[in-house]
Amino acid sequence: MIDWILLRGLAREQRHFGDFPVAFAARVPNARVTTLDLPGFGDQAARPSPLGVDAIVDDLRARAFAGAPRRGPRGILALSLGGMVALTWATRHPDDFARVVVVNTSSADLSPPWQRFSPAVALRLPRLLAAAPLARERAILAVTSNRAPADNEPVAARWAAWFDEVRPARVNVLRQLVAAARCRRPGRVAAPVLVLASRADRLVSWRCSERLAHALGAELRVHDAGGHDLSLDAPDWICDQVARWMST
């Protein structure tokens, strides 16, 4: 068995994975799945989000492994900002993970800012952060998902309810943005790395993933139609790519 840790990205929490962890455990052979929230969000919403990815790694690692005996090899799969965290983690602690999968992520030294985060979305960010929860989640999904709006309406309602429940601080979104903006390509990652990307991503250019995969000597696989939130738009595709990669 491989114990997988799953991480979400900017301003998201583990519940935003929806049914993806269950699908991953079912479709990827010998997978056991744990999801963790980044500091400042989800069950960690009462805490400040660090201004650097290294500090996020330290926080997650302390929580992930606290008092837990190692049962075998571990893997990590992470989206967007979570991918930056995962690569940094795997570089700093090479014995922690036997496999690393990152989805729609980027690096400050490999891609320009306007490819790492859509300027159009950046201009709308202040209004987005101030919007009512349902309007906010609809607007986020309109950018991060390429599914039909009608299909995403129940998702937006659930996510808005979670936002109301947790009420993460707006400043933590900005602090995560600072951490992401400063995050550079890590050193050598000892574990095999799979980079997944969405060619139709409207928030982060898939070219960021392409450059990152080349720099890391990692395998790149690209989905043609999914949006930035690929675990929502194409969960089975992610699972199947990981399963095939694991079998090689």
Percentages helix, strand, coil for the chain (3-state, rounded to 5) are 50, 15, 35
The CATH number linked to 33 is 3.40.50.1820
Query: In the predicted model, what is the mean pLDDT of residues 119-138?
Result: 95
**Residue-level pLDDT at 66:** 84
**Residue-level pLDDT at 187:** 80
53-62, 150-159, 186-195, 218-227 — which is least confidently predicted?
A: 186-195
Query: In the predicted model, what is the mean pLDDT of residues 135-145?
Result: 97
Give how many domains the chain has, as a whole number: 1
User: How confident is residue 186, by pLDDT bands cut at 50, 70 and 90?
Assistant: confident
Neighbours of 98 (CB within 10 A): 16
Does residue 69 have a pLDDT over 80?
Answer: no
Contact 17, 8 (CB under 8 A): yes
Nearest to 176 by CA among 74, 63, 44: 44
| Helix or strand (DSSP H, E) at 78 | strand 74-79
**Residue-level pLDDT at 70:** 77
**Residue-level pLDDT at 126:** 93
Q: Give, in degrees to the nearest 5, the angle at Cα 48 between 164 and 136.
A: 30
The percent of residues above 70 in pLDDT, for the chain, comes to: 100
Dihedral sign from CA coordinates of 239, 40, 159, 116: negative
Contact 42, 176 (CB under 8 A): no
Average pLDDT of the chain is 96
Q: What global pTM score does this model have? A: 0.97
**Residue-level pLDDT at 208:** 98
Q: Give me the domain span that covers residue 80.
A: 2-247
> Distance between CA 225 and CA 36 in Å, rounded?
27
Query: In the predicted model, what is the mean pLDDT of residues 123-130?
Result: 93
